[in-house]
């Protein structure tokens, strides 16, 4: 492919002499359409050629087999196969020569003749020139390194390129995250690398002789450069393409259960698809454009048709695109767009060829395929039920499918026959057509009928039992197979027999709880197609909410994976189990994330929060992947953010020991995982009703305290509640560490807006202990729902955190919600200790103004002042001193605060304390 041999025939000395000195012979050959072979330049020592030499290189097609058998004008027999000329010689082995290329010449009067450029002369005993042809094709980075190494006789060229790349990376760190500047920078680097390569005298001399070599050197330099750059270069490219990739992924994920026949791919090609898929999936392992393009080529070459006699038939453009589309969808590579951009924009050595080489064709084809998927021109996601229906058909009767489908759709429109109505398939079609009335009518009718029949049967059985004791209640299973044996007589029409037969018939008459052979119920179908109104009807009719099909998928799974938010919410509200795993251990959340349905993810989270359901956000599927793994892999930034804000943990490992970080293939998603600044308000519409700031005051602190005490007692008994609180605390702490007061409040169920303008000194009293006004209600709820003084395993409360991160605003809010100002953690530290340690002056002041114990000691006997002195926090020390701490307190090591400061040589602090002591005196 790349770097195939080429030369200018008209510059070839052999050809020039032939033309100039034996033009008559040449004219004759041309008029006879004989083929002229020209040994490649350098394969013959320059000398004067004789007429025999020329005659030995003219091939005359034989009469019987003009395509493969020839004779030369020197009467030698020649055969041609697989681009190789074989010449019979009188003694010794036959002589062989490769055809390097064919060129079709036209004379001035447009007479055509062909010239084959051959690797070696077609004469025995000719002196073969010294300049042996270099490797014809460069197929891998190893070939490239090999070429540069051998041609320069050492690794100096490679070293030079390496040096260039290193310098480049140093200079351009970080690489620009925009395509044009990035490409220009790399292009410049390529030029630089090539220049330094050609400074190698040996290489330069050789390239002067062989243009072919020069081309290959260029390509090798490019490849080696790409090889060295790849790790630094590809992430920025992926980042540039993050948006396109995530959109493409969403499209692809939603089509991922597509089948070959959905794309009109010819049956003859089916057999080759797995192989091609396997080859194509390796594209991510290659670093150079050369190898990536080659991978595309091999994948497509693996797809070949066989005719009846097992000969390979050519793959045409009509087959190529659909197969390629299929391969791409099935490849599960998360960054096709980036791969394309890399291949398209970062080839520099092919300058001047326009789009005229095979690589350009392959890359363009990839582009077309991506465009095709992206454009949505493909029919939407295939329906699992249609797949189920057809999946058990053999290839032989696949042809009938078209017909089948037609007749199905026809039946919807005509809606005529009774027998049709008796099938579940028909009901499914009605659901798809959103014909809710008909669905309801039909299912209810059948239900009633079935009920009445069951009643009849029961009485009939009773009646029969009276007469005949050995006729037992029939087992359902036996019923079908042996029904006719159970009748009094095959043609009997007694009441009992009639009911038996009609019940049997009704087994096929669809009701709301009927299932098809793959376990799909009408509710599944309605969920798959997002027919919310039918979902509602079916639920009202008593459909089983958590019915599972053969893949153990519930309707909720389908609604989530298809992105039908309304259907999903209806199912959730009717008690669908939110964490149900299917056969692959995927929960509905997994499926919604995998297919990029933000709306459904929001709905799941929202419902879980409000319905007090525990949505397992870090649930793992069969491969150990959490939803966040999937979001990271497919590059869904918004979804990843949302998951993290709701407690998804990016550092969990799947069964391949990979975390979500490992799957993040661009910097954008990585950034989301690393420092997702939670801002929940964007995503979830929590505000059910705007709470009006009424003219009411807070509850009586005493009642509140009592309440809080009560709830705390309840909670300690309730282990799960504690676990939940711990999780929640984690989120709160995270929010606090980001400095997001609003979010922290949200997690604690505190209405931030109510406090936003609160002046701390205002005495807030409850309107009345039993006041039901919004604000009071809200506060009540808060207390009962989340214990503000709940501490994690280190004994840290929200107030500790707020103090540590210096959020005085949050401290205010927490105190207003009855946070314990002097609560101590496991080391005995109060919030004031932490504020002092972290030099949070505003918090120190606020805490001390509101009754914090300035002389509180932790387990090692340190007061906040000790701590401030120890770490040398001047501001904190100043502020603490304003509140007259006891300067004589000594800690566990028998040291006062000033002694600590002296020990640490914090001169300013020593000075401050001394001054203060003097002042007091």
Partner 1 sequence: MSSAPSGTHNFKVVLLGEGCVGKTSILLRYIEDKFNDKHLTTLQATFLNKKLNINGKRINLSIWDTAGQEKFHALGPIYYRNSNGAILVYDITDEDSFGKVKNWVKELKKMLGSDIVLVIAGNKVDLEHERTVPLEEAESYAKMVGAKHFYTSAKLNQGVEELFLELTREMVERFEQNSQTEVNRTSRVLVVEDEAPTQSSCCSGSRSN
Q: Give residues 314-353 in contact with Mg ion (rule: CB under 5 A).
A: 316, 318
Q: Which stretch binds partner 1 (CB under 8 A): 109-117, 282-290, 717-725, 834-842?
A: 109-117
**Residue pair 552/546 in contact by the 8 Å Cβ criterion:** no
Our CB check for Mg ion shows the closer of 318 and 437 to be 318
| DSSP structure string for 9-41 | GGG-HHHHHHHHH-HHHHHHHHHTT-EEEEEPT
Beta strand pairing call for 35-39 and 112-118: parallel
Residue 99, binding choice from Mg ion, partner 1, none, Cβ under 5 to 8 Å by partner class: partner 1
CA distance 852 to 814: 14
Task: Write the Ramachandran bin of 101: left for phi over 0, alpha for psi from -120 to 50, otherwise beta.
Answer: beta
CA distance 824 to 881: 22
Q: How far is the CB of 807 from partner 1 (least distance, A)?
A: 53
CA distance 367 to 389: 34
Contact status: 33 vs partner 1 (CB under 8 A): no
User: What angle do helix axes 555-562 and 565-573 make, rounded to 10 degrees?
Assistant: 150
Q: Which stretch binds partner 1 (CB under 8 A): 352-360, 559-567, 590-598, 806-814?
A: 352-360
Among 139, 198, 483, 773, binds partner 1 (CB under 8 A): 198
> DSSP class of residue 839?
T
- Restricted to residues 87-106, the positions that interact with partner 1 (CB under 8 A) are 99, 101-106
Residue 381 neighbours by CB under 8 Å, 6+ apart: 254, 255, 257, 258, 562
Residue 466, binding choice from partner 1, Mg ion, none, Cβ under 5 to 8 Å by partner class: none
Contact status: 207 vs partner 1 (CB under 8 A): yes
Say whether the peptide bond before residue 174 is cis (omega within 30 degrees of 0). yes
CA of 532: how far to CAs of 195, 537, 587, 791, in Å? Answer: 66, 9, 21, 44
Our CB check for Mg ion shows the closer of 314 and 905 to be 314
Beta bridge partners of 97: 85
> DSSP class of residue 128?
B
With CB under 8 A as the rule, give the number of residues binding partner 1: 81
Our CB check for partner 1 shows the closer of 317 and 702 to be 317
Contact status: 191 vs partner 1 (CB under 8 A): yes
- Restricted to residues 289-318, the positions that interact with partner 1 (CB under 8 A) are 297, 300-301, 303-304, 312, 314-318
Contact status: 138 vs partner 1 (CB under 8 A): no
Q: How far is the CB of 301 from Mg ion (least distance, A)?
A: 18
**Residue pair 811/831 in contact by the 8 Å Cβ criterion:** yes
| DSSP structure string for 686-752 | --SSPPP--S--PPPHHHHHHHHHHHHHHHHH-HHHHHHHHHHHHHHHHHHHTT-HHHHHHHTT--H
CA distance 55 to 273: 49
With CB under 5 A as the rule, give the number of residues binding Mg ion: 2
- Restricted to residues 663-692, the positions that interact with partner 1 (CB under 8 A) are none
Among 31, 167, 364, 454, binds partner 1 (CB under 8 A): 364
Residue 190, binding choice from Mg ion, partner 1, none, Cβ under 5 to 8 Å by partner class: partner 1
Our CB check for partner 1 shows the closer of 15 and 790 to be 15
- Restricted to residues 399-458, the positions that interact with partner 1 (CB under 8 A) are none
- Restricted to residues 48-67, the positions that interact with partner 1 (CB under 8 A) are 67
Among 149, 361, 738, 883, binds partner 1 (CB under 8 A): 361
Our CB check for partner 1 shows the closer of 312 and 719 to be 312
| DSSP structure string for 439-490 | HHHHHHHHHHHHHHHHHHHHHHHHHHHHH-TT-PPPPHHHHHHHHHHHSSST
Our CB check for partner 1 shows the closer of 218 and 503 to be 218
| DSSP structure string for 312-328 | EEPPPHHHHHHHHHHHH
Q: Which stretch binds partner 1 (CB under 8 A): 139-147, 185-193, 650-658, 877-885?
A: 185-193
**Residue pair 6/101 in contact by the 8 Å Cβ criterion:** yes
**Residue pair 250/636 in contact by the 8 Å Cβ criterion:** yes
Give the closest residue to 15 by CA, choosing from 33, 38, 31, 35. 38
Contact status: 713 vs Mg ion (CB under 5 A): no
Beta bridge partners of 114: 104
Contact status: 466 vs partner 1 (CB under 8 A): no
**Residue pair 510/427 in contact by the 8 Å Cβ criterion:** yes
Among 71, 162, 169, 204, binds partner 1 (CB under 8 A): 204
Q: How far is the CB of 317 from Mg ion (least distance, A)?
A: 5
Q: How far is the CB of 318 from Mg ion (least distance, A)?
A: 5
Beta bridge partners of 84: 81, 98
Residue 357, binding choice from partner 1, Mg ion, none, Cβ under 5 to 8 Å by partner class: partner 1
Contact status: 110 vs partner 1 (CB under 8 A): yes
Our CB check for partner 1 shows the closer of 360 and 464 to be 360
Q: Which stretch binds partner 1 (CB under 8 A): 147-155, 201-209, 860-868, 871-879?
A: 201-209
Contact status: 313 vs Mg ion (CB under 5 A): no
Other CB atoms within 10 A of residue 354 CB: 8
Contact status: 177 vs partner 1 (CB under 8 A): no
Among 30, 139, 214, 483, binds partner 1 (CB under 8 A): 214
Q: Which stretch binds partner 1 (CB under 8 A): 344-352, 722-730, 863-871, 882-890?
A: 344-352
Contact status: 216 vs partner 1 (CB under 8 A): yes
Q: How far is the CB of 279 from partner 1 (least distance, A)?
A: 13
Contact status: 716 vs Mg ion (CB under 5 A): no
Q: How far is the CB of 375 from Mg ion (least distance, A)?
A: 21
Contact status: 8 vs partner 1 (CB under 8 A): yes
Among 247, 266, 372, 904, binds partner 1 (CB under 8 A): 372
Our CB check for partner 1 shows the closer of 2 and 536 to be 2
Our CB check for Mg ion shows the closer of 318 and 480 to be 318
Our CB check for partner 1 shows the closer of 117 and 729 to be 117
User: Following CA atoms 13, 19, 21, 22 in sequence, which dihedral angle do they give, to the nearest 10 degrees?
Assistant: 130
Q: Which stretch binds partner 1 (CB under 8 A): 345-353, 467-475, 566-574, 873-881?
A: 345-353
Among 21, 358, 444, 649, binds partner 1 (CB under 8 A): 358
Residue 69, binding choice from partner 1, Mg ion, none, Cβ under 5 to 8 Å by partner class: none
Alpha-helix residue ranges (DSSP H) falling in 468-551: 476-486, 495-508, 522-528, 532-540
CA distance 797 to 746: 16
Residue 858, binding choice from partner 1, Mg ion, none, Cβ under 5 to 8 Å by partner class: none
Residue 876 neighbours by CB under 8 Å, 6+ apart: 835, 836, 839, 840, 841, 844, 864, 868
Q: In the structure encoding, which two tokens stand for residue 253, read together?
A: 């994920």
Among 82, 403, 485, 717, binds partner 1 (CB under 8 A): 82
Q: How far is the CB of 315 from Mg ion (least distance, A)?
A: 10
Contact status: 359 vs partner 1 (CB under 8 A): yes
Beta strands in 243-363 (DSSP E): 305-306, 312-313
Residues lying near Mg ion in the complex (CB under 5 A) are found at 316, 318
């Amino acid at each position: 492919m790349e770097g195939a041999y080429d030369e200018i025939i008209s510059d070839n000395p052999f050809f020039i002499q032939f033309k100039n000195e034996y033009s008559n012979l040449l004219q004759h050959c041309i008029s006879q359409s004989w083929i002229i072979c020209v040994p490649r330049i350098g394969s013959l020592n320059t000398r004067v050629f004789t007429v025999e030499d020329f005659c030995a290189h003219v091939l005359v097609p034989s009469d019987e087999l003009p395509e493969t058998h020839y004779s030369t004008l020197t009467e030698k027999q020649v055969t041609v196969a697989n681009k190789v000329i074989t010449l019979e010689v009188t003694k010794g082995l036959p002589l062989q020569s490769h055809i390097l290329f064919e060129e079709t010449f036209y004379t001035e009067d447009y007479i055509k003749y062909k010239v084959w450029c051959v690797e070696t002369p077609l004469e025995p005993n000719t002196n073969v020139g010294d300049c042996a042809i270099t490797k014809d094709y460069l197929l891998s980075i190893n070939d490239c390194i090999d070429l540069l190494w051998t041609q320069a006789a050492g690794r100096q060229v490679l070293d030079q390129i390496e040096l260039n790349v290193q310098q480049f990376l140093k200079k351009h760190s970080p690489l620009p995250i925009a395509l044009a500047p990035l490409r220009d920078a790399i292009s410049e680097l390529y030029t630089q690398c090539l220049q330094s390569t050609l400074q190698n005298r040996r290489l330069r001399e050789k390239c002067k002789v062989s243009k072919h070599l020069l081309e290959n050197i260029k390509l090798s330099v490019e490849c080696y450069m790409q090889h060295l750059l790849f790790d630094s270069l590809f992430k920025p490219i992926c980042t540039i393409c993050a948006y396109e990739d995530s959109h493409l992924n969403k499209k692809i994920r939603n089509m991922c259960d597509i089948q070959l026949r959905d794309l009109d791919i010819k049956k003859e090609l089916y057999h080759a698809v797995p192989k091609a898929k396997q080859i194509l999936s390796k594209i991510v392992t290659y670093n150079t454009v050369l190898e990536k393009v080659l991978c595309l080529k091999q994948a497509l070459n693996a797809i070949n048709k066989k005719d009846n006699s097992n000969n390979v038939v050519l793959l045409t453009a009509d087959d190529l695109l659909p197969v390629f589309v299929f391969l791409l969808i099935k490849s599960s590579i998360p960054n096709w767009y980036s791969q394309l951009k890399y291949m398209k924009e970062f080839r520099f050595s092919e300058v001047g060829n326009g789009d005229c080489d095979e690589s350009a064709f392959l890359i363009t084809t990839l582009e077309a395929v991506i465009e095709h998927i992206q454009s949505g021109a493909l029919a939407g996601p295939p329906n699992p039920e249609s797949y189920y229906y057809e999946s058990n058909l053999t290839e032989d009767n696949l042809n009938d499918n078209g017909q089948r489908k037609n007749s199905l759709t026809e039946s919807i429109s005509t809606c005529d026959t009774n027998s049709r109505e008796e099938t579940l398939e028909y009901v499914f079609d009605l659901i798809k057509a959103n014909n809710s009335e008909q669905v309801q009518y039909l299912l209810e009718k059948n239900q009633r009928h079935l009920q009445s029949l069951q009643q009849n049967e029961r009485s009939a059985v009773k009646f029969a039992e009276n007469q005949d004791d050995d006729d037992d209640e029939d087992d359902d299973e036996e019923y079908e197979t042996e029904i006719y044996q159970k009748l009094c007589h095959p043609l009997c029409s007694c009441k009992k027999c009639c009911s038996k037969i009609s019940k049997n018939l009704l087994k096929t008459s669809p009701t709301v709880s009927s299932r098809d052979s793959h376990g799909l119920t009408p509710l599944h179908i309605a969920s798959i197609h997002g027919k919310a109104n039918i979902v509602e009807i079916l639920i009202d009719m008593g459909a089983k909410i958590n019915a599972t099909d053969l893949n153990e998928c519930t309707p909720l799974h389908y609604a989530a994976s298809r992105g039908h938010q309304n259907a999903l919410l209806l199912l959730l509200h009717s008690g669908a189990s939110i964490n149900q795993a299917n056969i692959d251990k995927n929960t509905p959340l997994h499926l919604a994330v995998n297919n990029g349905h933000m709306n459904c993810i929001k709905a799941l989270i929202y419902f879980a929060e409000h319905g007090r359901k525990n949505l397992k956000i870090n649930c793992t599927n069969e491969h150990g992947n959490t939803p966040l793994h999937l979001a990271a892999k497919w590059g869904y930034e918004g979804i990843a953010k949302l998951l993290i804000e709701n407690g998804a943990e990016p550092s969990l490992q799947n069964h391949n020991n990979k975390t979500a970080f490992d799957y993040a293939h661009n910097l954008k998603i990585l950034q989301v995982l690393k420092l997702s600044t939670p801002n929940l308000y964007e995503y979830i519409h929590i505000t059910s009703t705007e709470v009006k700031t009424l003219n009411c005051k807070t509850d009586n602190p005493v009642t509140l305290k009592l309440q809080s005490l009560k709830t705390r007692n309840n909670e300690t008994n309730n282990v799960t509640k504690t676990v939940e609180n711990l999780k929640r605390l984690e989120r709160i702490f995270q929010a606090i560490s980001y400095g997001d007061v609003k979010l922290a409040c949200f997690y604690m169920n505190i209405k931030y807006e109510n406090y936003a303008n609160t002046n701390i000194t205002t005495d807030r009293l409850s309107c009345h202990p039993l006041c039901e006004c919004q604000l009071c209600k809200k506060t009540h709820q808060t207390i009962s729902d989340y214990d503000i003084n709940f501490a994690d395993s280190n004994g840290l409360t929200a107030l500790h955190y707020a103090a540590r991160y210096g959020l005085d605003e949050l401290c205010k809010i927490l105190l207003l919600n009855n946070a314990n100002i002097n609560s101590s953690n496991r080391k005995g530290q109060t919030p004031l200790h932490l504020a002092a340690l972290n030099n949070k002056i505003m918090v120190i002041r606020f805490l001390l103004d509101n009754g914090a114990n300035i002389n509180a000691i932790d387990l090692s006997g340190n007061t906040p002042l000790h701590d401030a002195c120890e770490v040398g926090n001047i501001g904190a020390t100043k502020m603490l001193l304003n509140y007259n701490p006891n300067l004589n307190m000594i800690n566990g090591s028998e040291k006062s605060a000033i002694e600590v400061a002296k020990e640490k040589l914090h001169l300013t602090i020593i000075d401050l304390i001394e001054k203060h002591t003097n002042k007091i005196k």
